[in-house]
Chain A
């Protein structure tokens, strides 16, 4: 910790690394470009606690758009879409190079999700606000493989579900759980960068499951894989 603290006080900049189209998870500053984006998908496995008989793998579209504010700050925007349920988030990330190979970031995002289901006896819709605070530590190898470890905690700010004429609103802020992600980013095909991330989500509530089961006080484990093509 002390080592990191000392290292943070120095500013490093690896000028040989082509940062454009390089990284979404990796905490690399946006020195020259203003925008950075990626398109891909996430795959989340639901646990037996929810879907019982079949462990469903829920694919979800994933669009990320980063906007440079200055050398150390970026705006991190994300849209996760499954048509019937979607999640949009925005937040600020502070990025600090520690050495030529080691980078650090800390950020906070606010997310809004909404879903609706109106078929075969279902007449349901739900919305909610979530807050995500996160830190990331990135390591760049000599072959420009970008390895990022991201730790994130989330809080449920509000939750509202409506089925038929019944409405449930939970307005109080509550700790929702933690997510740990290990992400790999590198030039993959035709100089395009690919993101591959593995996340372990330990949450009381995960927005993609709102229609599947009752929100409990039992933390549920979800493994998630994210694949992204950096544009």
Chain B
């Protein structure tokens, strides 16, 4: 008996072993040329003209054959910050830089990352006047294939960039006639993917456009005192929060308690749904919010916030869809209990019949059922849209973009969806 107890204890202890993974974000502040005070921000016309699909004549062994380049912005305290992102076709890689103009050249400074691994490093890119900057900096730039060449260097980790990379403009980004949503899971990205900000935080909502997202899926739960907040897991746990002494279901705590004692992995507070929607409407250009229902109580408080922020977005002149996600029968029945459910924008993950029953705007099947083009056609014929979730395998993302007829893809890797969508011909 003694032996058995020792064996069980030893086995239990061994099976509890775990490894901590991390990605150390490179410090990008060491490029003196970029920091020079005479460097100026780029104007909107230049930024728009830079967007496109580029060949990678140098660096393709690391990043693949093509890169889709796109700008995004966030507003913080009235200041707008622009980022240029490049979505590569290999290893779910991307770069994110800020851009400036200096002495007729365009400089881009930032970092690259591969989502399939922990690889990252500094990325510094330049467009010389003779490589297209002089055209891009005019009032009406005329861009044709081969007219922009971006040269630069990248490094591994904190190393000074030494490895050359060249990007050559090929064609404009793909744009489908109907809007296509690149929706990012967990408010824009998962903590387990070792991103610099925490999942389901306001910081992630503000960051996710840099990863290529045009929309977000956010997970909603209620605190003990009825405040809708963003949190995915059933319980407070060290996967998503820092050590704080609180354990168990988040529903056991008041918002005040959570706000005081709990911090997400990267130090952010757990946001309320109001704070999250406020960030979406007033600080980003995101055009789609999927309110995933992680609770089985009344949907009314969430519906009220949905209405309020749809109106606020409209008042801002923003085309913003906010839909209530219904993943199961419990939530579906709660939704049916709403007096005006047929006019409340919803996304239903159940059958097409259920979608029709509640007049949901969107049907969203799991990706494991395949492209289902016949069913998507039925949904389209009814004037609804169809999204597929949660597609993370790059080969599947390529297939859904190239052969599927969905209007949006939910993924933990929005940069991969962005690459496939923007380079699609």
Contact A48 B117 (CB under 8 A): no
Contact A122 B114 (CB under 8 A): no
User: How far apart are the CA atoms of A47 and B192 in the complex, in Å?
Assistant: 10
Does B371 belong to the interface (CB within 8 Å)? yes
On chain B, the residues within 8 Å of A213 by CB distance are 392
Contact B192 A165 (CB under 8 A): no
On chain A, the residues within 8 Å of B314 by CB distance are none
On chain A, the residues within 8 Å of B233 by CB distance are 52-53
Contact B368 A47 (CB under 8 A): no
Does B91 belong to the interface (CB within 8 Å)? yes
Does A164 belong to the interface (CB within 8 Å)? yes
Among B10, B118, B232, B367, the residue within 8 A (CB) of A218 is B118
On chain A, the residues within 8 Å of B17 by CB distance are 45, 200, 221, 223
Does A217 belong to the interface (CB within 8 Å)? yes
B37 to chain A, nearest CB (A): 41
Contact A53 B371 (CB under 8 A): no
A29-67 Cβ-contact flags toward B at 8 Å (1 or 0): 000000000000001010111001101010000000000
| CB nearest neighbor in B for A188 | B3
Contact A218 B116 (CB under 8 A): yes
Contact B237 A53 (CB under 8 A): yes
A220-231 Cβ-contact flags toward B at 8 Å (1 or 0): 010111010000
| CB nearest neighbor in B for A170 | B395
Contact A122 B368 (CB under 8 A): yes
On chain B, the residues within 8 Å of A163 by CB distance are 367-370, 396
Contact A47:B395 (CB < 8 A) given known A122-B366, A218-B118 = no
Among B15, B116, B232, B399, the residue within 8 A (CB) of A57 is B15
Does A121 belong to the interface (CB within 8 Å)? yes
User: How far apart are the CA atoms of A124 and B396 in the complex, in Å?
Assistant: 12
B156 to chain A, nearest CB (A): 15
On chain A, the residues within 8 Å of B10 by CB distance are 198
Contact A217:B117 (CB < 8 A) given known A47-B19, A163-B396 = yes
On chain A, the residues within 8 Å of B234 by CB distance are 53
Does A166 belong to the interface (CB within 8 Å)? yes
Contact A166 B392 (CB under 8 A): no
Within 8 A of B (CB), among A102-124: 117, 121-124
User: How far apart are the CA atoms of A221 and B16 in the complex, in Å?
Assistant: 12
User: How far apart are the CA atoms of A221 and B235 in the complex, in Å?
Assistant: 24
Does B52 belong to the interface (CB within 8 Å)? no
Contact A214 B7 (CB under 8 A): no
Does B337 belong to the interface (CB within 8 Å)? no
Q: State the majority secondary structure of interface residues on B.
A: loop
Contact A166:B370 (CB < 8 A) given known A53-B233, A121-B365 = yes
Taking each of A188, A215, A216, A227, which has the highest tally of chain B beta carbons within 10 Å of its own beta carbon?
A216
Does A168 belong to the interface (CB within 8 Å)? yes
Contact A216:B369 (CB < 8 A) given known A161-B393, A225-B14 = no
Within 8 A of B (CB), among A126-168: 161, 163-166, 168
Does B2 belong to the interface (CB within 8 Å)? no
B218 to chain A, nearest CB (A): 16
Among A43, A124, A161, the residue within 8 A (CB) of B15 is A43
On chain B, the residues within 8 Å of A200 by CB distance are 17
Within 8 A of A (CB), among B373-409: 392-393, 395-396, 399-400
A167 to chain B, nearest CB (A): 8
Among B11, B18, B91, B369, the residue within 8 A (CB) of A164 is B369
Contact B395 A165 (CB under 8 A): no
B91-105 Cβ-contact flags toward A at 8 Å (1 or 0): 100000000000000
Contact A166 B239 (CB under 8 A): no
Contact A217:B116 (CB < 8 A) given known A43-B11, A166-B396, A225-B15 = yes
A154 to chain B, nearest CB (A): 18
Contact B368 A124 (CB under 8 A): yes
Contact A168 B237 (CB under 8 A): no
Does B81 belong to the interface (CB within 8 Å)? no
Contact A216 B116 (CB under 8 A): yes
On chain A, the residues within 8 Å of B3 by CB distance are 188
A120 to chain B, nearest CB (A): 9
On chain B, the residues within 8 Å of A225 by CB distance are 11, 14-15
| CB nearest neighbor in B for A165 | B370
User: How far apart are the CA atoms of A164 and B371 in the complex, in Å?
Assistant: 7
Within 8 A of A (CB), among B214-242: 232-235, 237, 239
Does A196 belong to the interface (CB within 8 Å)? yes
Does B145 belong to the interface (CB within 8 Å)? no
Contact A123:B368 (CB < 8 A) given known A217-B91, A225-B11 = yes
User: How far apart are the CA atoms of A19 and B148 in the complex, in Å?
Assistant: 74
Does B372 belong to the interface (CB within 8 Å)? yes
User: How far apart are the CA atoms of A20 and B370 in the complex, in Å?
Assistant: 52
On chain A, the residues within 8 Å of B368 by CB distance are 117, 121-124, 163-164
On chain A, the residues within 8 Å of B91 by CB distance are 217
Contact B7 A123 (CB under 8 A): no
| CB nearest neighbor in A for B119 | A217
| CB nearest neighbor in A for B17 | A223
Contact A121 B15 (CB under 8 A): no
User: How far apart are the CA atoms of A43 and B16 in the complex, in Å?
Assistant: 11
On chain B, the residues within 8 Å of A47 by CB distance are 18-19
On chain A, the residues within 8 Å of B21 by CB distance are 49, 218
User: How far apart are the CA atoms of A108 and B19 in the complex, in Å?
Assistant: 28
Can you report 9 A-B residue pairs in the complex whose CB atoms are below 8 A from each other? A48-B18, A53-B232, A117-B368, A123-B368, A168-B395, A196-B11, A214-B392, A224-B15, A227-B11
Q: Which residues of A contact B (CB under 8 A)?
A: 43, 45, 47-49, 52-53, 55, 57, 117, 121-124, 161, 163-166, 168, 188, 196, 198, 200, 213-218, 221, 223-225, 227
Give 7 nearest A-B pairs by CB, closest first.
A164-B370, A221-B19, A165-B370, A121-B366, A168-B395, A217-B116, A217-B117
